[in-house]
Structure 1
């Protein structure tokens, strides 16, 4: 009993904050929930990023849902990457359940079902507010890293962008990009060589193949207009609750390059657009990336480097990034070291490799006299997790095995009819779902090539006409004699006639004498 009270005091003192905070649940000791020993997360350091990890079925998605709900309730907008398609239920209140009531009685928190304001966004042809970006907005450096090109090819891409800037050729979608690459080594080869240097057809061919690979993953839908404005992620509803923006990604799980492209462009634009926040009391926006291993598994070294840089820098804009994955080792160490909040659900030890991963995961948490961290990681039940956060001064809070509270919204997906209802009420659908294909590099270059070909045909026809006129004039001025063939001229010449007839007459006279 004395140990329990000491533990309760340890948790309560370590989770008391002056500013706003979110309550995740209540601490556990020896497998039992300590009622009212609340485990809290202060809002102030939530721009220091975080990790939610655990084996399949241990409750990661519900933890993500709880965090999103409570942030929205505090007026903080949220962006969720929903790869499994099970987060749309945030739009509807939970129907409740006796097990939920029992859980909350153990925690010491009332259960208040409620719905939250959401926007459904889409990268593909799924229903939702369309997310797009133009090639020009990416710029040559980011495009080169996404395509994972060589240094020489990256230089060519920079030249292509410079040419388009110099000639007012908008690069909006991938067909614009492909057209200018083809033009640089075909119709416009001499123009490029004169002003920008020679461009290798082999290099542009390699770049084109990389672009085709992105097209096959749905990049032709993503690149284009109207570009999504990241400030639209910061909206709050009439009740002061932050919108929860859910990006539906269920149909691009097998398209990691498109997902990485989108994430990198989004983070880069947020960093460029949002003002510096300094040391504020709450984040401006919080992003949750479910199934985060999809980003890191297929990413090139250049892309990983870019992600690591943005993770380090973007918190100064008041933006928190939270990665949700099965194992902490799915996240590169350079990123993992930047994460302030760690919520670790149960891990399963089926193999020697699993046991090694659990030992490594245990080392990511502060030492504690109350738990054997490696052992408890395999003993946690569904909806239970080890929690380590940062307090308002940036120091780790006490490590606590936590009975997590239940989501206040529905723990299930919306029906197709409910999704249509949400989209019908959306202020962003009308703004972004009209496809725009204005005159850009493709059309302007096609027109330029067509004009050049027409001029070339006109010049060729003019030359042929002039040649025909010269021939006709020469025939008219030569006269009748000049129209005779050389053989006729010889046969009708006086000299030839005299000589031939002279010979004939000699032959005839000779025969007469004989």
Structure 2
């Protein structure tokens, strides 16, 4: 339940300045130089929206808005100043109170991690995030198309990188079907992915992805949950910051139903340092932002841009912002003077307020305010004293933040990353299968080659063995012939030898008795009759031989 069906902003022109809840989804702009009170204004508006049951999201660039989680302190000079201001504007019910808060952090350090998948981000926003040119964006779109057609989930940066490699390997095939896919463009995208990883993109892409229902929630008292994104570190990666904010709006636009004009917003966004969303943005992206801002109103979402200079917001976007709070501007430079003039011209005129002069004279905590009225028309601009916040002005301590993170409704739902099977795993498996098949084919070819080599070697060895056998046979035959020849030669020589002839003759004619006589005759024939002892020895030998021969016969 809500106490009032409007958001009290402050006192101006002697009247209560408030924004009807049913007009809070008409978007808004809160601008002003550093130190003029923008943070306090934002804090007060978020407190009132939360109390009315409207969930909010705010990017906390300096860390000050984390104080929304704690009630303000009733001591010190700040308390005295706030109490005096509350009395001055007639806010008799003002008192310190906290708001229900959930802390988020893309890097998971000062809040629950916020993740999305590569597929949910889409090629347009991803191209913006990586700063790709038109040709490279076209190649990235082809990669998304092929992944979708082949059922390959793109969840994290590893999936996208694997998909790009896959497309490069199929460049010739894909060029025929979808257009030129050059390896140079793929290489440029890969380098951009490397830069994105260095900015912390690995932490942003993956699962579990953020469920929008966790943003659009209320506590047990019916107060809208205030979702605070820790953006101090994120500011060092402005491209990631801008793309994340645009992605969040796009996701809400796609997931929320059409509501028309609800009694109160479903969700209100407060984008600090809004110029980062538009600096150097290509026209395609600006068109996307304009489209989302223009159409998301009917989904019950209000978008509020916070920036130092109102001219930071492109005119096509600024024209959609019906609620305006302008804090002091400093007209020190020509650009500042142009900003003052531009801001003055955007308000509905009020004869009692010299806007151009007042913008440079506003005190801290004062603002020129023009909000939509219940009938949808903008109220005349009023110089307004902004109501003081109920929550702490300043950041929570790390210990307080830790306790709040552990005890909120989200719990540990997003704290542990999940890596399910997706494009990287599937393509890796296919690559492994292809590599295994190639290795098997190679092994088979090598085995066949080895078998052929062995068969060839065996044939060579058999041939050599046969040659050796034939050579040995030839040598044996030749030796046999030589032996036979030598035998015949020996026989011929023996036949022609007088000594042999004598022995042969004696052998043939002698008996055992005659043999001895023949032997004696032979001995005498050789050595003579008076040969001495030597002759008698040889003669005895001859006689023994011949005697044996004859005895054998």
**Counterpart contact for 1:130–1:429, Cα < 8 Å:** no
Residue in 1 aligned with 2:349?
Answer: 367
Query: Shift in Å at residue 447 of structure 1?
Result: 2.0
Residue in 1 aligned with 2:436?
Answer: 454
Query: Shift in Å at residue 189 of structure 1?
Result: 5.3
Residue in 1 aligned with 2:319?
Answer: 337
Partners of 2:453 and 2:291 in 1: CA distance = 73
**Counterpart contact for 1:148–1:302, Cα < 8 Å:** no
**Counterpart contact for 1:130–1:432, Cα < 8 Å:** yes
Query: Shift in Å at residue 483 of structure 1?
Result: 8.6
Residue in 2 aligned with 1:258?
Answer: 240
Residue in 2 aligned with 1:75?
Answer: 53
Q: Count how many residue pairs are aligned between Structure 1 and Structure 2.
A: 461
Residue in 2 aligned with 1:99?
Answer: 81
**Counterpart contact for 2:61–2:272, Cα < 8 Å:** yes
**Counterpart contact for 1:134–1:171, Cα < 8 Å:** yes
**Counterpart contact for 1:26–1:404, Cα < 8 Å:** yes
Residue in 2 aligned with 1:415?
Answer: 397
Partners of 1:358 and 1:198 in 2: CA distance = 49
**Counterpart contact for 2:119–2:154, Cα < 8 Å:** yes
Normalised by the length of structure 2, the TM-score is: 0.79
Residue in 1 aligned with 2:494?
Answer: none
Partners of 1:85 and 1:301 in 2: CA distance = 32
Task: Summarize deviations over 1:119-140 as a string: whole Å, max 9, x none.
Answer: 0011113221110000011233
SS of 1:87 mapped into structure 2 = helix
Partners of 1:483 and 1:367 in 2: CA distance = 118
Q: Give 5+ residue unaligned stretches, structure 2.
A: 476-553
Selected match of 1:169 from 148, 152, 159: 152
Query: Shift in Å at residue 158 of structure 1?
Result: 2.9
**Counterpart contact for 1:260–1:299, Cα < 8 Å:** no
Query: Shift in Å at residue 451 of structure 1?
Result: 2.0
**Counterpart contact for 1:286–1:320, Cα < 8 Å:** yes
Query: Shift in Å at residue 256 of structure 1?
Result: 0.9
Q: Give 5+ residue unaligned stretches, structure 1.
A: 1-18, 29-33, 493-514
Q: 1:38 to 1:193 in 2, by over 3 A?
A: closer
**Counterpart contact for 2:114–2:414, Cα < 8 Å:** yes
Query: Shift in Å at residue 428 of structure 1?
Result: 1.2
Bigger Rg, which one: 2
Query: Shift in Å at residue 23 of structure 1?
Result: 1.4
Residue in 2 aligned with 1:31?
Answer: none
Partners of 1:160 and 1:121 in 2: CA distance = 31
Residue in 2 aligned with 1:317?
Answer: 299
After TM superposition, list the pairs within 5 Å mapping 1:152-301 onto structure 2: 152-186=135-169, 188=170, 192=174, 199-301=181-283
Selected match of 1:425 from 404, 407, 411: 407
Query: Shift in Å at residue 482 of structure 1?
Result: 9.8
Normalised by the length of structure 1, the TM-score is: 0.85
1:46 has 2:24 as partner: yes
Q: 1:160 to 1:352 in 2, by over 3 A?
A: closer
Residue in 2 aligned with 1:128?
Answer: 111
Partners of 2:177 and 2:295 in 1: CA distance = 37
Q: 1:198 to 1:287 in 2, by over 3 A?
A: closer
Which protein has greater RCO, CA pairs closer than 8 Å, 6+ apart? 1
**Deviation larger for 41-50 or 475-484:** 475-484
SS of 2:215 mapped into structure 1 = helix
More helix by share: 2
Query: Shift in Å at residue 191 of structure 1?
Result: 6.6
Residue in 1 aligned with 2:449?
Answer: 467
**Counterpart contact for 1:131–1:227, Cα < 8 Å:** yes
**Counterpart contact for 2:125–2:243, Cα < 8 Å:** no
Residue in 1 aligned with 2:513?
Answer: none
Partners of 1:376 and 1:198 in 2: CA distance = 58
Residue in 2 aligned with 1:11?
Answer: none
Partners of 1:193 and 1:369 in 2: CA distance = 65
1:85 has 2:70 as partner: no
1:26 has 2:11 as partner: yes
**Counterpart contact for 1:148–1:300, Cα < 8 Å:** no
